Each structure stands twice: as C-alpha cells, then as structure tokens.
Structure 1
Amino acid sequence: MRAGLWFCVLVSFFWGSCLGRFVVEKNSLRVTSPKDLKGVYECAIGNFGVPQYGGTMLGFVVYPKANRKACKAFDEFDISFKTKAGGLPTFLLIERGDCYFTTKAWNAQKAGAAAVLVSDDKIEPLITMDVPEEEMGNADYLQNISIPSALITKDLGDSFKKALANGDMVNVNLDWRESLPHPDERVEYEFWTNSNDECGPKCNSQIEFVRNFKGAAQILEHKGYTQFTPHYITWYCPEAFSLSKQCESQCINHGRYCAPDPEQDFSKGYDGKDVVMQNLRQLCVFKVANESGKPWLWWDYVTDFSIRCPMKEKKFNKECADKVIESLGLDLKRIDKCIGDPDANEENPILKAEQDAQIGHDSRGDVTILPTLVINNRQYRGKLDKAAVLKALCAGFQETTEPAICLTEEIETNECLENNGGCWHDKAANVTACKDTFRGRVCKCPIIHGVQFVGDGYTRCEASGSGRCEINNGGCWKQTKDSTTYSACVEGVSNGCKCPAGFKGDGIKLCEDVDECKERTACQCPECRCKNTWGSYECSCSGDLLYMREHDTCISKKTTEVGWSFLWVIFLGLGIAGLGAYAVYKYRIRNYMDSEIRAIMAQYMPLENQAEVPSHFSHGHV
C-alpha cells in the first residue's frame, strides 16, 4: 500500500496527475434560446485560461464548418470569430479529441472567440480539462490563454449542433457566481507549492506568480480580509527501500518525508532532501511569522529566497536562507527549533500535518497537482495569474463586503515603512533600495540626484559614476581631524574607494594612518629625526643641519648660507656689468647721432666759421 502511494505521488510530481479523490470544479451554463433547450446545465471549468469567477458572460454559440476539433489555426481556413460592433460575443463549440485542450483554446482565442465550449466525445461524467506536461515547454503560449473554457456533456453538445443545423440561434450564459463559496466577509485560501526552482516552466510559473501576487496578498492579510496558508507536498519512501541510496538522498527523518531529485539525476546538483528541507524551512517561516502577527512575511521570504538563493547559482542552502530570514527581522532560533533534526528517526509534526492535509475533505478533493490554489475549500481552476487569482479571491467574499482592492488596483503596499522591507538602507545618507509597488515591495538600488546606485538591493548598494562622491562620499571612508579632511572616494570611478597617500585599509570602512617613521619609509638618512603625523610625517635634522624633503637628506646650513652669498655676488656683478654696458651703449649712440646731425646741417646752411665761396661773374663788363 505504501509503495503504491509512493509511486502515485511521484507521478503527481513528474506528470501532474494521480489517482485520488479528484473533484471536478463546475460552473453553470444557462441556455436562453432556442425554447426547447432552455434550462440550466452543468459544465466543467478548464484548468487554464481565465474563468470569470463571481461574474457571468453572455454570448451565442457557433459551430465551425471546418477544423471542428480546433487542432489547427483557423486562419488556415480563412475563418474568424471576432465580435463585430454591437454584436454578442462568440462561444465557439468544438469537439474533443486529436489534440490537447489547451491547443483548442489557443486556436479559438487567436480566431477571436470569447469562450470555448468543448463537447465531450463520449457519454461519461464531466472531467477537468487540464494542462498537459508535454506542452509546458511553451510556457508563453499557455500563459497567454485568457478566454474561459468549459467542457459540456456529449448530449448537450449534440443538441447544440442539431439546433444550429436547423438554423436556430443558440444563446447561452456562462455563470461562475456560485463556483466559489462566499459565505462571509473573509476568504480562506491555500496555496500548494514547492521550493524547487529547477523543474522547468512550471516552477518558473509558480515563482513568477508569487512575486506578482505578493503585494495584493499582503494587503488582504494586513486588513484581515483573508486567511492564507501555504502547503507543501511530500511523499514517503517505502520501508523496503528506506536504506537505498535513492531514498537516503531524497528523504529526511529516515525516509518519512521525500521529494524528487530537482534535476532528475541522482549524480549531480541538489538532492530531493535539499528541497524537503527548504519546504520545511518555508513552512516554519510562515509558522513563526504567523505567531508573531505577521503571516504576510511568508510572501517576502519566498520571493527573496528565489531571487537571492537560486539553485543555478549554487546558493540553495541554509546559509543563504538564514541571511534572507535575518533581513526580514524574523527569529532565526525559533525557526531552527521548528525545523528540528532531519536525521532523527521520528516524525516531524510540521511535515506530518502537511501529508495529512493532502487528503481531500468536505467539498475539496485530494491535492495531487502542483501548483494548486484552494479558495474557500474549493480548488481554483484557471491560469495562475495575479489578476485572475485576485478576481477569484474577490468572488469568495459575501456580496457588498469586497475590500477596496477588489475594486481598484491603484494602491500601494507600504511595505517599506517597516524595517525597509528587508532591503538595503543607508541611515547616514537616508537612502533605501526599498520601493513599494502594487505587486509588493522590490529591493532595487535607487537613483539619487542623478547618481545610480548599483548592487543586489538587499545587502549592498553603492553609488556609481560621476558625482558619486557627493552622496555619502560614494560609500567610501572619510574622516576629519585637526581641521584636515581625508577621503578614500575616487571621483568618476565606479566602486572606486582607495585610501589616500599616508593611509592604508580597504577604503570603504577603514583607512588607518601609516606610521612612516615606524615603517622607515621616510627620514632614512642617518642625521634625520622623524615625527609621525595624521596622514603624513615631519622630518628634522640634528645640529646645524637642514632637511631636504625631496632628497630625504640633511645638509649643512653654513654651506647653504655660503652658497647663497656666492650667488648674490654673482648676481651683483652681473648687474654692474649690465649697467656699464648700457652706459657705453648710450654714449656711443649719442656721439653717432651728433655727427650725423652736423653733416646734414652743413649741407643746407653755412656755418659761422666757414670761408666765403668765390663768385664766377665780372661786374661792369658788357
């Protein structure tokens, strides 16, 4: 019996299905015409797309002339079901078989259908149309299915086909208002999940949902509108195999609680017991947070752990998990006590309760598929998407008691007000990496006054680029002493913290003064005397000696004085020689100018001491 259950749970992990008490979730289909088909019928909600929980959808049924199983794209047949202005939405009636339900819905949506009605191909009780694991390789395609789908009986499908063949218009109303119980003004819901992040698109989808839905979930819990409980599936190893290598690597507590190998390869990577331990740690985080009056911290822990401690980076371990727990202000000792001894040959009360909870009760079936969302004790059907799940939760409130979040998305989570949301924070500069969004707080290094901070946002953020030293000195060391300030910040260099000359250290937290005298890096001459100062040093010489810093040596003051006197004599002699040369130069120029002036004047006017010039003409001659 135990071996059979072990195999069954293994199948649920790898193929998403298992024998058990599986409950088909249903909604109503009301036919308003033709007259002979009027009435209310049951249909099964598809486990994909977006059911309109709490609402209704009116449309008319169309049975395509070709591609009636919708296994091919309708544009190949030049067929469109897009609603025209003022027209009713199209509910496409298609037949079961030949391809996956998700393929049918996707092709119908691309062709413009507002909803899909799948007619069963045999007479049997209604089943749930599920997402096949083989299709999970195309996660984008599955996540993009946004129209609701419903499986109807073969008899009802045949009746629709006959009416349409006779030219009748078939009008129907899909109704999800009673699909979820809504007894009071509080919704109770569970999320069955797993800490494994290496199981492909399904794991990625779970992680993405938790990140996106976190903000809305925490608001609902803060206000007391919802009561949330996380759950984790584990299986046990049959006693006949409890000593096998497979069970030892995949189980804790002597084979009582196991999980499949994350990589499905026992020879590499992490083991199943690593996943079980993290599942248990997440349960204990919720338990301790709940006992502290802050159950919503589970969402922060799971989100931050997936970001900071992924398997791909080899950080999926207790050390990384403890850092996340401490950043959220939770009591680590209480959580370790809750986890207990995984090597003990005894039951763990937390995981034993989880195995008991997997069994269905009342209107809820057994939990055999991950992920599974249970709202007011009914398993949610549809896409694991923030908007779709939020709409389903809101449908679980008694009429007129819906909280404001069900009416608008224009809200803030205000998670940064307490403990900075577990993000990095610099008290000195009053800078934080915490940012509130509708999807919950995110830890992202900010931009302050045009300066970008870089880091992981949780434990480290440092100013980067130009202007970084203006903000908290770029995260580098800085100190003022005796009116002198030294800084280790290097402007314009990312993460550039370097102790200035005269100091040593990491440049971030500490720069210590270097004792140049003690380390004999200065004043090394025999006559030198050294005195250490903060960030520098002072050297002096004994007797009549003078210290020359650039040469690190001592010289005689007398030699220096004689040298300067000799230089003054040279300078004075050069000055006198210059003046003499100038006087001679001026005297020669003056004489030259005088002689030139006399020569010019002699040509144009006789001088007083010059003899008369004789005449060449005779007076009285005719």
Structure 2
Amino acid sequence: MRMGVSKATIFLGFLYLSLFQSVLCRFVVEKNSLRVVSPDDIKGTYDSAIGNFGIPQYGGSLPGTVVYPKENRKGCRNFDDFGTSFKSKSGAMPTFVLVDRGDCFFALKVWNAQNAGAAAVLVADDVDERLITMDSPEADGSSAKYIENITIPSALIEKSFAEKLKKAVSSGEMVNVNLDWRESVPHPDDRVEYELWTSSNDECGFKCDMLMKYVKDFKGAAQILEKGGYTQFTPHYITWYCPQAFTVSKQCKSQCINHGRYCAPDPEQDFSSGYDGKDVVIENLRQLCVFKVANETKKPWVWWDYVTDFQIRCPMKEKKYNKECADGVIKSLGLDSRKIEKCMGDPNADEDNPVLKEEQDAQARTRGDVTILPTLVVNNRQYRGKLEKGAVLKAICAGFEETTEPAVCLSDDVETNECLDNNGGCWHDKAANITACKDTFRGRVCECPVVDGVQFKGDGYSSCTASGRGRCKLNNGGCWHDTRDGHTYSACVDDEEGKCSCPPGFKGDGVKSCEDIDECKQKKACQCPECSCKNTWGSYECSCSGDLLYIRDHDTCISKRAKEVKSAWAAVWAILIGLAMAGGGAYLVYKYRWRSSSKTLVSGHCLIVWIHTDIPLLLPPQSYMDSEIRAIMAQYMPLDSQNEVPNHVSDERA
C-alpha cells in the first residue's frame, strides 16, 4: 500500500512540476490603464493588472476618487466592524478603495470593500516586482460564497505607484483617477476571434460548476454571433503527458491514453474508484471532434448544443459519463457519428493522436496561462474577470471595431429560433405536434411541456410522457391504442400516476403493444356444458345449444320456454289491469256527464224518477220542464216502452 502511494505521489509530482514550469515560463498578465487626473504632481497614465475575478468594464472606463482607509488597510476584515463606509453621496464620484497586499486572499479584500460600498478596488503590491495577475483562491465552503458574487472591478498596481497615491491621499489631496479598459481587448476589425480552454470534467468543484453554468448561459449569444459571422470561436482542451519512466504504471494507464501521451487528472482524485483521467481525455477528444465535424458542415455552433446537452444528460454523479450517453446526444443533434469516431482514432494506439497533438502544440505555443481552467481568450488577449454571460459578452463586443458591433451587443432581447431546426434536437411528438424545445435568450432548452393543463414529464431529450388527470385526452397519454371493426381500445389510465395498462381482454406492456387474449383457449369463459365460445378482438361471444338462452353474468344457459310462460302471464295481467282501469274511467266520465246535463234548479218541488238502469234521477215537475230539458233527457235516457217522459210521477216530495 505504501509503495502504491509513493508511486502515485511521484507521478503527480512529475505531472504538476511540468505544469508549473509552463506557468512560470509563460504566465500571461492582462493589463488595463489607470490614468491619474489630479493632483498634477502624479498626473499621468500607469499600468495595472486586471484581477481574475469580478467584472471588468471591457470597452469602457470608470472614473473615481481614491480613498485609503485609516483602519483595516489590508481589507481582510469587514469594514462595517470599523464603522467605515465607501458609499458615494448623491452627485459625488464613485469611490476607489486602495488596500495593501497581504494576510488574506485578493478576492476577500475586494469582497469586503464591495460590501462597504466601493465602486472599484486598487491593491497595492508590497514588493518591487513586475505586475502579476490577482487570481481567485481555490473555492472551498467559505470562499465560494463571495467569489461568484463579486461584481466590481479590481486591479493590482506597482508598489512605487501605490506609494505616490498614499502620500497624496494622506496630505489631503483629492486624487481623481480613471480606470480604462478600452484598450484591454484589441478591436482591429468587424470580426472577433475568441477561444475557450475548457474540460468535460464536471466533478472538480466550484470552478467546474462555474464553467458548466457559463456554457449553458452563454450558448444562445455565442450561436447568434457565430451564425451571423460576427465571431470565430474555437474550443480547446488541456492535456498533459506522463513521464516516460511511468508510462507502464497503474496511475499512467488509468489517467492517460495513447501510452501516456495524453493525460488528465483523476476527477475524484482517487485512483481506486469512480471515473479515471483517461475517461476525461476521451470525452475531451470527442468534443473536439464534434467541433471539427460540425465545422466541416458550416455549423460550428452545434458544439455549444453538444456540450450543454452532454452536461445535462451525462453527468458523472449519475454514472452516465460514457460513450453510450454521448452517442445519444450526437444522434439527437443529427451529427455524423461515424465521422466523429474516425476523427477520434484509437486511444490504445502507441502513436500520436493528430487532434490532441495539435492541442498540446497550441497550448505550448500560444498561451501560457491556459493551465488555469477555464480560460477565455478574446482577440488574443486573455479575459480576466467573472466567467458570466453578460461580462463575457461585453468583453467580446469590446473586440469589434467601433460602429461594427452586432445587435446582440446592443440589446438583450435576442431571438434564436433554434427550435425551428429539427426541434433543437429535443423530444417531439409528430402526431400531436408537441415539442419539448423552448427558445430562450440563453439558447434552446429541452423541457417537457404543459399542454392544455396536462404536464408532460421526462428528460426532455428522448422522452416526455403526459401525467395527471386529463392525460388520456392528449394522444392517449402516449399509451397503446387501436381501433378495429368500430371498437376502440386504449391502455391509458387516467390517474395521477400516469400508467399505461392494457384494458381487459388484452395483454402487453401497454405502451408499445397490447395483444388480444383468446379467452376461449384459456377457458376463462363459457364454461357451462351447453355453452360454445367464439373469440373476438378484445372480448368473446358465448352461445347455447338448442332453445337455451346464455346468461353472461352467471356463465350459464336457461330455458327460453320458461321465459315465454312468464311473458304470457305478464301480458294477461297487463290486459286485465288495462280493462279494469278503462271501465273505471268510463264509469266516472259517464257519471260526470250525466249529472252535468240533468241538474236543474226548480222552485218548490223535485221529482225522483227511477229508470231501468237503477239510477235515481232528480227531475222538476212537468209544468216547469221546458222543451230543451225534455230533449236532453230523451237523448241520454230513452225508455224501452215509451218515447216521451210521463206527465205524472207516483211520488212527490217537498
């Protein structure tokens, strides 16, 4: 165990020694000018080194008044603890805080000054030396909280110049200066060339997270600039080599390809688990070949789509950082995978890889500080500051010759329309005309949509499935469905879980297929002795022999004759009840009409007449009966033995 650790330590020592030697020999310091406006005795222009954090105002300038605090002069503590504020009053010039180098990180000094209201920070070097670049520290739990939130510019100035500023401020002079970034990026023509030195490794902590976020956010603007011919972008990937004495070691074999020629550090810094450095080298090589193949088809901007989608779909933490996942991204973007494989070559060959050899030559020939990832170079000048979309776009736009800036440099309202071309490589349903592609300023994103209140769920690239209530109304929720002989069946279950389950009478996965079940062969139906079974699509039919009738609910046959007898008696009873009701109704009508026609008021007496129908009638005396009443009586009650009503009756009552 100790021997293995020793070898690993020696190997890493050689690896990083070669790395640091290249940094020391060719460390690039990007400068901006600091012009002193007053007092007159130090008036003039001085060099300053742009900090590798914050947001430099590329293409612009910032005036201000220099302040040298009486306490906390190194800026390592919060200025609020000393009751110090650098916020400018209304109408006053912005405040530039001058702090001394030492005791804490450069970035922490700037962060404390920013919180106290400073507009910019000048850091005074404490030794006589050439200017160096103030870099951000390796982000840990505490520093990561402020590094990404620094928004003001900063610069390192030489010790001799800093002493002049301190003396002027201490003597009560008003020291007015102007930080100028207009010449920080050359702008010779109407096209900007820029390059990004990067890596596909997504498990290196804060800097990897920052790089991944930048690529996603900047993609839309980068593609607009590239499609319009305003820029020429080139991606680069850093590799190192394994010393000859260690090429056969376990460490070199796990971290390098092509027999130690091209290496990358272990993502987890653990040789015994997780991904190896050679996995990173291979993916870096694949991304270089994606750019080359896309560039050959006059679409170099597709590189941004591939890198963004690979980050989203194939992260190391989900164990998807592999060729299979990469091939899925390549296919979704319509790239020629065979050309990419040919470009990559054989990683096990004991020979130079032309693509990676070119990268190593470019790293050694043109840039010295590209060992710090990520590194952005604009018009051959190294970008300094926060790797953030707005800040980088400003730096790129500063590289155009004046009056030649494209519209993207003047407005944030940009339409990319990437979804119009093959749905941006996102999932889409042709039948329902639904896509997961969304066009935004940061470029297209693949997110499952919401359609008519129904949320689709999935990765947005290869699949999106409707979920929740109402999902079956939208293309049957992506489930199997079919129609035959006028019958339609669907496997969609309209619930919150969004399942696809074959309906009764079918079997299958419910998504791609549902096959009819032959209930007759499986003897699941028509089990009675007199039954015969016939299978149908999605169901079955049962019949009985002779004059028997099949009852499906009970899976049995019964006699039709018993049913007929019951039906006959039912008919007889219906007739009898009908006749009884008709007779009763006729009697009531007859009684009502008779009373209505025969009832007459008389003065004095009424006669009771008994007719052969046994119905007693009240009649007035004949002397008071007129001809009309007699006619009515004769019409409704004619007598068998006489034609007229008698003149006298045998009874008279008061």
Give the TM-score of the pair, scaled to structure 1. Answer: 0.88
In structure 2, the gaps of 5 or more residues are 1-8, 585-654
C-alpha contact (below 8 Å) 1:548/1:554 kept by paired residues: yes
Runs of 4+ in 1 over 4 A off after TM superposition: 3-9, 134-137, 558-565, 567-576
Distance 1:175 1:412 in 2: 32
Give deviations 1:589-608, integer Å, cap 9, x for gaps. Answer: xxxxxxxxxxxxxxxxxxxx
Q: CA deviation at 1:422?
A: 1.0
Distance 2:345 2:384 in 1: 36
Which secondary structure does the structure 2 equivalent of 1:436 belong to?
Answer: strand
Q: How do 1:39-438 residues align onto structure 2 when only pairs under 5 Å count?
A: 39-133=44-138, 135=140, 138-361=143-366, 364-438=367-441
Q: CA deviation at 1:12?
A: 9.1
C-alpha contact (below 8 Å) 2:416/2:441 kept by paired residues: yes
Which secondary structure does the structure 2 equivalent of 1:133 belong to?
Answer: coil
Q: CA deviation at 1:337?
A: 1.3
Q: CA deviation at 1:464?
A: 1.7
C-alpha contact (below 8 Å) 1:327/1:423 kept by paired residues: yes
Distance 1:296 1:66 in 2: 51
Q: Aligned pair in 2 of structure 1 residues 573, 152: CA closer, same or farther (>3 Å)? A: closer
**More displaced stretch, 107-116 vs 486-495:** 486-495
Q: CA deviation at 1:560?
A: 5.2
Matched, 1:508 2:511: yes
Distance 1:5 1:500 in 2: 64
Give deviations 1:413-435, integer Å, cap 9, x for gaps. Answer: 11111011111111111111111
Which secondary structure does the structure 2 equivalent of 1:218 belong to?
Answer: helix
**More displaced stretch, 72-81 vs 492-501:** 492-501
Amino acid at match of 2:522: E
Q: CA deviation at 1:570?
A: 11
C-alpha contact (below 8 Å) 2:471/2:498 kept by paired residues: no
Distance 2:44 2:14 in 1: 40
Q: 1:10 aligns with which of 3, 10, 16?
A: 16
Which secondary structure does the structure 2 equivalent of 1:441 belong to?
Answer: strand
Q: CA deviation at 1:511?
A: 2.1
Give deviations 1:317-338, integer Å, cap 9, x for gaps. Answer: 1111111111111111111111
Matched, 1:441 2:447: no
Q: How do 1:577-592 residues align onto structure 2 when only pairs under 5 Å count?
A: none
* Percentage of identical aligned residues: 70
Amino acid at match of 2:133: T
| Aligned twin of 2:547 | 544
Which secondary structure does the structure 1 equivalent of 2:364 belong to?
Answer: coil
Give deviations 1:59-85, integer Å, cap 9, x for gaps. Answer: 111110111110001000000000111
Amino acid at match of 1:129: M
Which secondary structure does the structure 1 equivalent of 2:222 belong to?
Answer: helix
| Aligned twin of 2:602 | none
Q: CA deviation at 1:380?
A: 0.7
Distance 1:572 1:402 in 2: 97
In structure 1, the gaps of 5 or more residues are 583-622
Distance 2:320 2:265 in 1: 19
Matched, 1:471 2:474: yes
When the two chains are superposed, the root-mean-square deviation of aligned CA atoms in Å is: 2.6
Distance 1:334 1:524 in 2: 64
C-alpha contact (below 8 Å) 2:482/2:488 kept by paired residues: yes
Q: CA deviation at 1:469?
A: 1.8
Q: CA deviation at 1:502?
A: 1.5
Q: Aligned pair in 2 of structure 1 residues 165, 91: CA closer, same or farther (>3 Å)? A: same
C-alpha contact (below 8 Å) 1:359/1:366 kept by paired residues: no
Matched, 1:488 2:491: yes
Q: Aligned pair in 2 of structure 1 residues 276, 495: CA closer, same or farther (>3 Å)? A: same
Q: 2:459 aligns with which of 441, 453, 456?
A: 456
Give deviations 1:381-409, integer Å, cap 9, x for gaps. Answer: 11111111000000111111110000010
| Aligned twin of 1:601 | none
Q: Aligned pair in 2 of structure 1 residues 423, 16: CA closer, same or farther (>3 Å)? A: farther
Distance 2:14 2:115 in 1: 37
Give deviations 1:519-568, integer Å, cap 9, x for gaps. Answer: 32222334322222222111112333332222223344446556767x76
Q: CA deviation at 1:189?
A: 0.7
| Aligned twin of 1:608 | none
C-alpha contact (below 8 Å) 1:20/1:366 kept by paired residues: no
C-alpha contact (below 8 Å) 2:15/2:243 kept by paired residues: no
Q: Work out which of the two has the higher radius of gyration on C-alpha atoms and give 1 or 2.
A: 2
Amino acid at match of 2:551: M
Q: CA deviation at 1:489?
A: 2.0
C-alpha contact (below 8 Å) 2:455/2:468 kept by paired residues: yes
Give deviations 1:125-161, integer Å, cap 9, x for gaps. Answer: 1111111215575323101111111111111100011
Give deviations 1:414-459, integer Å, cap 9, x for gaps. Answer: 1111011111111111111111111111111111122211111111
Amino acid at match of 2:80: D
Amino acid at match of 2:381: R
Q: Aligned pair in 2 of structure 1 residues 179, 568: CA closer, same or farther (>3 Å)? A: closer
Amino acid at match of 1:31: V
Q: Relative CO higher for 1 or 2, CA cutoff 8 Å, sep ≥ 6?
A: 1
| Aligned twin of 1:609 | none
Which secondary structure does the structure 1 equivalent of 2:443 belong to?
Answer: coil
C-alpha contact (below 8 Å) 2:23/2:368 kept by paired residues: no
Distance 2:290 2:76 in 1: 46
